[in-house]
Amino acid sequence: MTYETLGYETADGVATITIDRPEAANSLSMQMCQEMMDASIRVDDDPDVRAVVLRGSGRFFCTGADLRGFPPAGPEMATFVKEMTTYLHAAVSRFTRMDAPLITAVNGTCAGAGMSLALFGDLAVAGESSRFTMAYSRIGLTPDGSSTYFLPRLVGLRRSLELCLTNRMLSAQEALDWGMINRVVADEDLQSEAHALAAQLAAGPTESIGAAKRLYHQSWNEGLESQMEWETRAIADASRRPEAKEGIQAFFEKRDPAFR
């Protein structure tokens, strides 16, 4: 599939997906959500993709939905939103469940569903001038794109409600202090830092990384004993794979493992 709203390229095991509507502040259109869903399937199905970077082109990461493309509020808009979020949510789910770790490289402003996309990655790196805001209640809408799932898990219920109800704008440093992102870097270093991190992860044991991701996500819905049983099953499965054989052999040989 050739994308019109996204950039897509792969190199050295890393897929880079670029939100590419700079003329519209990288806002989400129906087409972009469809293309995002396709891209999520594409990276999940490509065995050569071992890490993914999601970034924005130009001055913004993503400023949420492009309201100019919406029908007027009412039944038509409700139908439109149901279709659009179906594509977007399918993409978020696929990116979250895939083995390859996903890094969000947040530049400039992220708002609304754009903030959701900034937060759902396994790791998040932000430029020092980036800004984060929910922005939904300002236009009489409610959050989408997974923020009601990921945000309270990252910052707690009180702070999540504060961000949602007041539309408070957080700086990159505040987002770091709150635990929303992993690191803040100079704006000019954002892409190189994100890709260096992706390259490090791409050299790792992708299947085991994917299994670990799923353990952490499912832990919110499990009791202690049932979660430990899932841990037992996951590590037993991992021990059967070539990744474990290589990792353990490299440990005893005092060398770096070659998982690729």
pLDDT in tens, 128-182: 999 999 999 989 999 999 999 999 999 999 999 999 999 999 999 999 999 999 9
For tokens 């590419």, the residue is 20
Out of 89, 177, 217, 256, pick the active-site residue.
89
Going by C-alpha positions, the residue among 91, 85, 55, 57 that lies closest to residue 70 is: 85
Q: Which amino acid is at 176?
A: L
Are the C-beta atoms of 128 and 172 separated by less than 8 Å? yes
Enter the pTM of the model. 0.94
Determine what percent of the chain is predicted with pLDDT higher than 90: 98
Give, as one character, the DSSP assignment of residue 72.
P
What pLDDT shows up at residue 225?
96
Question: Which region holds residue 231: left if phi is over 0, alpha if psi is between -120 and 50, else beta?
Answer: alpha
Helix (H) or strand (E) holding 14: strand 14-19
| 144 a catalytic residue | yes
pLDDT in tens, 14-65: 999 999 999 999 999 999 999 999 999 999 999 999 999 999 999 999 999 9
Q: Which amino acid is at 257?
A: P
Report residue 110 as tokens. 């992220």
| C-alpha to C-alpha distance for 144 and 114, rounded to whole angstroms | 10
pLDDT in tens, 57-114: 999 999 999 999 999 989 999 999 999 999 999 999 999 999 999 999 999 999 999 9
| 195 a catalytic residue | no
Domains detected in the chain: 6-202 (3.90.226.10), 206-253 (1.10.12)
Report residue 168 as tokens. 């408070």
Confidence of residue 260 (pLDDT cuts 50, 70, 90): confident
Report residue 191 as tokens. 């892409």
pLDDT in tens, 208-218: 999 999 999 99
Report residue 38 as tokens. 């396709």
